[in-house]
Structure 1
Amino acid sequence: MWAALLVSFFLLLGAGLSLLGTVGFLRFKSFYERLHAPTLGTSWGTGGILTASMIFFTVTEGRPVFHEILIGIFVTVTTPVTLMLLARAALHRDRSENDPTVPSASILTKPGKTVIGD
């Protein structure tokens, strides 16, 4: 009974966090605003679901099961990196199309000195 309650709690927590990331994804308007919510929803939501899976299979098989930790590591590492690369590609595209809403690559801190060059 205790395992079923823990598994249910972590499944609902993971599903709720994933749903929260999806709502954030739908709520924001621009591509750049939409990058943050799915990353958190995917990482934390996956963590909750994987914790539920580890508890369930540890109890049913009678031995510790930790295979899900590898899945969690891969999701935690690849999701932010993928979204960062998507953001950089979109920024490059928007700058090459001279989108007025995107700042240029040169950021002036003092007159005549640039931090990031074109």
Structure 2
Amino acid sequence: MGAAMEIVGSFVVLLGAFFLFSAGLGVLRMPDPFTRIQAGTKATTLGNLLVLAGLGIHHPDWALKLLVIAGFVLMTNPVSSHALSRAAHRARTPMAPTTGADALREDEAADGSGNAGSAPAQAP
């Protein structure tokens, strides 16, 4: 492996570490759990993918394993974020006063059942 590829791989890993650090800052600085979840998920997904890409540049023979890990990260981070935010919403976790809209509550009100995402009642 050439010195240029080593520098590029190190830069990509460093860039991924920057996004992971910014995710940590986002979790500390955001005003409510919903924005913390969003800040953490987006930045950690990108940070993890960049670190994996940098490792792929450093170790090309690990490419298949790193692709499997990247696929796992791409599937689990958004799903777990969604599950956490839905659980927090159902537990009536308060939002920050600066939050402009609550789309899930609006969907629940339009549904009329008070339970968004549930199937409508069937007529006998």
- TM-score, normalised with respect to structure 2: 0.73
Asked if residue 56 in structure 1 is aligned to residue 71 in structure 2, the reply is no
State the match for 1:9 in structure 2: 11
Q: Which has the higher contact order (CA 8 A, sep 6+)?
A: 2
Identity %: 26
2: distance between equivalents of 1:57 and 1:64?
6
Three-state SS of the structure 2 residue aligned to 1:65 is helix
Q: 1:32 aligns with which of 34, 49, 59?
A: 34
Pair 1:42-2:44 in alignment: yes
Name the structure 1 match of 2:90: 92
Q: Which runs of 4+ in 1 moved over 2 A?
A: 63-66, 99-103, 105-108
In the other structure, the counterpart of 1:111 is none
Shift of 1:15: 0.2
Compared CA separation, residues 47 and 94, structure 1 to 2 (3 A): same
One-letter code aligned to 1:79: N
Determine which structure has the larger strand proportion and give its number. Answer: 1
Spell out, residue by residue over 1:57-96, the C-alpha distance to the aligned partner (whole angstroms, 9 max, x if none). Answer: 12xxxx573310110111111011001111111111117x
Instruction: Specify the code of the residue in structure 2 equivalent to 1:21.
Output: A
- What is the TM-score of this pair, normalised by structure 1? 0.76
Q: Which stretches in structure 2 are left out of the alignment for 5+ residues?
A: 115-124
Query: 1:30 is aligned with what amino acid?
Result: D
Give the whole-Å Cα distance in 2 for the aligned partners of 1:18 and 1:31: 18
Measure, in 1, the Cα distance between the counterparts of 2:65 and 2:22: 26
Q: Unaligned regions of 5+ residues in structure 1, if any?
A: 109-113
For 1:7, give the aligned amino acid: G
Q: For each residue in 1:22-53, what CA deviation from the matched residue of structure 2 results, as whole angstroms up to 9, or x when unmatched?
A: 11111112111111111111110011110111
State the distance in 2 between where 1:74 and 1:25 align.
Answer: 22
CA distance in 1, matches of 2:4, 2:75: 32
